[in-house]
Structure 1
Amino acid sequence: MPPWPSPGICGPSNPGGTQLDAHGGYLIRVESLGRLNLAALARQALVEDGAPPDTILALSIHDRRKIVRLALECPLTEGPQGARWYSAHQSLARNLSRSTGVTVHAYVYDPQEYEEVQAFGRGQHVGGERLIYKEVELPESLDGEFDDRAFARMQSRWPLGHLAWVFGVEREQLLGLRQLPTTRLRLDGAAAEIPLESLLRGIAA
């Protein structure tokens, strides 16, 4: 079997060639948010998931495809262990799906361990998949070398690759949402009462 791509099996790079860090979050279409009281739902999720009240809600948007990435920023969600926090703490995705009536996805990307997507609809878990990288059999070409093109096709069928297809973007674009301009909203103060429409316009500008 050819050697694993390094570092990490799954790792797309950003334009500068730097490996993306482990991270997670929640994904939803921007038009689904409407006049939703996002701050109230996020504060409710903090209580249900045991996150501290001074947690920050981060919002990034892919303007062309109208995809919004939401993430909770606090010590619990930092680093690889923090990325894996989203595997077990999905109250915001559940609450959003119940309030909007659309599917919301929670995801985890840990380039050294696994990737995972969980889907929620109308407040219920409706599907998902986790892929453990060390369990994947890598493709190789006829000369025994690593086959990059076959590997890219393989990644497109993995949980995050399939989710990217659902949203109409490339896998690398989906994973790069966290690097787009981001608005950070404190959930323990008056700033959380800023209208959602204003926040989204500011991100997309």
Structure 2
Amino acid sequence: MDMAFPLTIADRTIETGPQLLELIIEDTGAGGGTVVKGETPPTWIVKAQEQGSLTTVEMRGLAAALIQRGLPASVSVGARLAMVLGDAELGPLLLHALAGHDVGLLLALDPLDQERSIEDTLLRASAEVVDASDPDLREQLLTGLRNASLPEVEVDILLRFGDTEQIRRWLPAIFTEALDVPSVAPFQEASNRSPEIAKAIDDALDALPPEIRQRVDEQLGHSR
């Protein structure tokens, strides 16, 4: 983590990278508020960048270091910083964290959102950051989303970027999980990508069991 020190955050002077990492981890574990009153680390880190205390390059390096650290608190903050940055260069690192961190870490609750696991947070960050137009990265991302049962995120990536084989393979499974269709627009936009994609979507819907197909048809406004 190549950063210029000392670094001033609120009324604290931070002398080293490890000191900054520990401060972030401790504040996250406390639910925020110990460094800047009423703020969690992602908020005060972004403010530090906006105020010129951190450069964008330094914040990217900080996000990378946090994502790779094997603690729920660090991964939680690193994933959120990656989403703020929206930097596709961090995409492979997020996917590597999903593959490389141990199961205990991935299944741990996200200290900044007790309704999600660390795995969920990493996957949601990956969905926003990964360059899903890259076939290899898209396959890794879709596989992770399928295994974690995040169909609402999965269907978004699948319809915007999936190829015909991926749509035929995964779309029926997504609807079998009783996912409600939020809007017909993503399906129309996906169908407009190419005739092959449109046919793949129709084939995937046709492959559904009758009772599920009826529900999906009603949501999409289809008559079959």
What's the TM-score, normalizing by structure 1? 0.26
Higher helix share: 2
The answer to which structure, 1 or 2, has the higher relative contact order (CA under 8 A, 6+ apart) is: 1
Higher strand share: 1
TM-score (normalised: structure 2) = 0.24
